[in-house]
Amino acid sequence: MAPPTEQETSDAALMQRLKSGDTRALGPLYERYRGIVNAVIQRQAGRMAAADAEDLCQEVFLTLVDVADRYRPGNTLRGWLCGIAVRKARRHREGGWLRQGLLNRFMKPKESSWTGENVAEQRHDIERILQQLSPPLREVVVLSLVEQLEATDVAAALNINVNTVWTRLHRARERIAELTAQEEDAS
C-alpha cells in the first residue's frame, strides 16, 4: 500500500475523515498537535502534574471527535485546538504560568532583576502577577504572546472578535504595568 499523500494527511482532509466517523484520523492529528495542546493546558492550568496535563490533553482530542462537524476548513486547526484546550484548562486552573521572560513581552525589566541567578524568583513573580489577571486576559496573553498565535487564530480559538483580542492584550499590558508599579512602590 502506498504511503498517504500530503493532501490526504492535511488538517482539512483528516478533519473531514473525522467528521465522517473515521477515528483513525485522530492519530495523526494527535501526533501533530499534542505538543502545543499540552503546552497550552500547562500554561492555562498552572501547576499541574505532567500526567494530569496529559490526561487533559487527551480529553481535548476526544472532544475533537465530538465537535468535528463544527470545524470549518478556513480556520487553522492549531488555533481551534488551542481554543478547546483553553476551555478545558479553564475548568482545571490552579494558578498562573511559569513562563520566564513573559513580562519582557510587556515591558522592559530592569537589567539587574532578570539575571540567570534568580530564575526561580522571576518565575514566582510572573506567576503571582499573572494570577491577578482575569481569565479572559490570561487566555489571550498565553495564546498570542506565549504560543505566538496570530490574532485571527486567537479570536477563532476563543470564539471572540479579533478586535477583542487586541483590546484584551492592551488591557493586560496596562494591568501588568500597574501591578509591577505597585510592587515596586511597596518595596
Q: What is the CATH topology of the domain spanning 1-95?
A: Rna Polymerase Sigma Factor; Chain: A (1.10.1740)
Confidence of residue 46 (pLDDT cuts 50, 70, 90): low
Q: Distance between CA 121 and CA 127 in Å, rounded?
A: 10
Q: What is residue 100's predicted lDDT score, i.e. its pLDDT?
A: 36
Q: What is residue 20's predicted lDDT score, i.e. its pLDDT?
A: 93
**pLDDT higher than threshold 50 for residue 114:** no
Looking at residue 2, its amino acid is A
Q: SS3 for 1?
A: coil
Interacting residues of 4 by C-beta distance below 8 A, sequence separation 6+: none
Q: Give the mean model confidence (pLDDT) for residues 42-47.
A: 75
C-beta of residue 142 within 8 angstroms of C-beta of residue 44: yes
**CATH annotation of 97-187:** 1.10.10.10
Q: What is residue 49's predicted lDDT score, i.e. its pLDDT?
A: 72
**pLDDT higher than threshold 70 for residue 98:** no
Q: Distance between CA 75 and CA 23 in Å, rounded?
A: 21
Q: What is residue 77's predicted lDDT score, i.e. its pLDDT?
A: 92
Q: Give the mean model confidence (pLDDT) for residues 51-61.
A: 84
Q: What is residue 7's predicted lDDT score, i.e. its pLDDT?
A: 54
Q: Give the mean model confidence (pLDDT) for residues 162-178.
A: 85
Domain boundaries along the sequence of the chain: 1-95, 97-187
Q: What's the whole-model pTM score?
A: 0.52
Burial of 23 (0-12, 13-18, 19+ CB in 10 A): exposed
Dihedral-angle region of residue 75 (phi above 0 means left; psi in -120 to 50 means alpha; beta otherwise):
beta
